[in-house]
């Protein structure tokens, strides 16, 4: 981690690398929480790559913000946020993806990605696996608190965490929020 971290808006040519980072992160984070058949499915990377291509090219995602973190030209993290669908009272942005490979945990990549896709002045919500104490602590550090709502998705229990808009905070790095 001696080389500099770069966080930038995602581009369609990043889709394959974004899929690899997402699947690797799932395998590192969710082994034992998600079914092995899902995590080890040989088609999972291709499926996630198609998802990222859609996010980065489809008009349905025009209001979303996708970012990548890289070090030495290699993608090490991904993030995606956009308007809640369906719209939810109380927040304007939904963080649907934030993953950093385990070797980069604690490097600042997660915080930089979060700031790249959600302006601190926006109210936001996210779903996080429970138990996942590391991720929950990360989100608490960044102002998110559990709101008491839980769901089960793909066999994984998740809790919702929300953050009120923080108008005292400055805007994110210029240009970091573009898709």
112-164: pLDDT as tens digits: 999 999 998 899 999 999 999 999 999 999 999 999 999 998 788 999 999 99
Percent of the chain with pLDDT over 90: 76
In contact, 75 and 17? CB cutoff 8 Å: yes
Output the pLDDT for position 44: 95
Asked whether residue 113 is domain-assigned, the answer is yes
pTM of the model: 0.89
Asked whether residue 70 is domain-assigned, the answer is yes
**Residue 171 pLDDT greater than 50, yes or no:** no
Measured distance CA(83)–CA(103) in Å, rounded: 30
Q: In what order do the strands lie in the sheet with 124-129?
A: 5-9, 65-71, 74-82, 93-100, 124-129, 156-163, 145-153
In contact, 113 and 100? CB cutoff 8 Å: yes
Provide the domain count of the chain: 1
Torsions phi, psi for 157 (to 5 deg) = -75, 135
**Residue 170 pLDDT greater than 80, yes or no:** no
Q: How many residues does the chain have?
A: 179
Asked whether residue 175 is domain-assigned, the answer is no
Asked whether residue 90 is domain-assigned, the answer is yes
38-74: pLDDT as tens digits: 999 999 999 999 999 999 999 999 999 999 999 999 9
**Residue 30 pLDDT greater than 90, yes or no:** no
List the helix and strand counts (H, then E) for the chain.
5, 7
Asked whether residue 84 is domain-assigned, the answer is yes
Output the pLDDT for position 3: 87
Asked whether residue 157 is domain-assigned, the answer is no
- Owning domain of residue 110: 5-120
Measured distance CA(160)–CA(138) in Å, rounded: 14
The mean pLDDT of 2-28, rounded to a whole number, is: 95
Asked whether residue 125 is domain-assigned, the answer is no
Enter the DSSP assignment of 70.
Answer: E
Asked whether residue 155 is domain-assigned, the answer is no
The mean pLDDT of 3-17, rounded to a whole number, is: 96
**Could you count the other beta carbons within 10 Å of the beta carbon of residue 19?**
22
CATH number at residue 75: 3.40.630.30
């Amino acid at each position: 981690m001696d080389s500099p971290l770069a966080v930038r808006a995602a581009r369609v040519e990043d889709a394959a690398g974004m899929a690899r980072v997402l699947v690797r992160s799932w395998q590192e984070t969710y082994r034992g929480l998600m079914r092995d058949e899902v995590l080890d499915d040989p088609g999972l990377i291709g499926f996630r790559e198609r998802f990222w291509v859609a996010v980065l090219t489809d008009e349905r995602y025009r209001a979303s913000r996708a970012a990548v973190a890289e070090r030495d030209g290699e993608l090490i993290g991904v993030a995606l946020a956009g308007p809640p669908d369906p719209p939810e009272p109380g927040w304007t942005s939904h963080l649907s993806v934030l993953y950093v490979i385990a070797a980069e945990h604690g490097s600042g990549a997660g915080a930089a990605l979060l700031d790249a896709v959600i302006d601190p002045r926006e109210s936001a919500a996210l779903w996080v696996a429970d138990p996942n104490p590391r991720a929950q602590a990360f989100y608490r550090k960044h102002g998110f608190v559990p709101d008491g709502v839980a769901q089960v998705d793909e066999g994984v229990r998740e809790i919702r965490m929300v953050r009120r808009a923080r108008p005292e905070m400055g805007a994110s790095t210029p240009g970091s929020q573009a898709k």
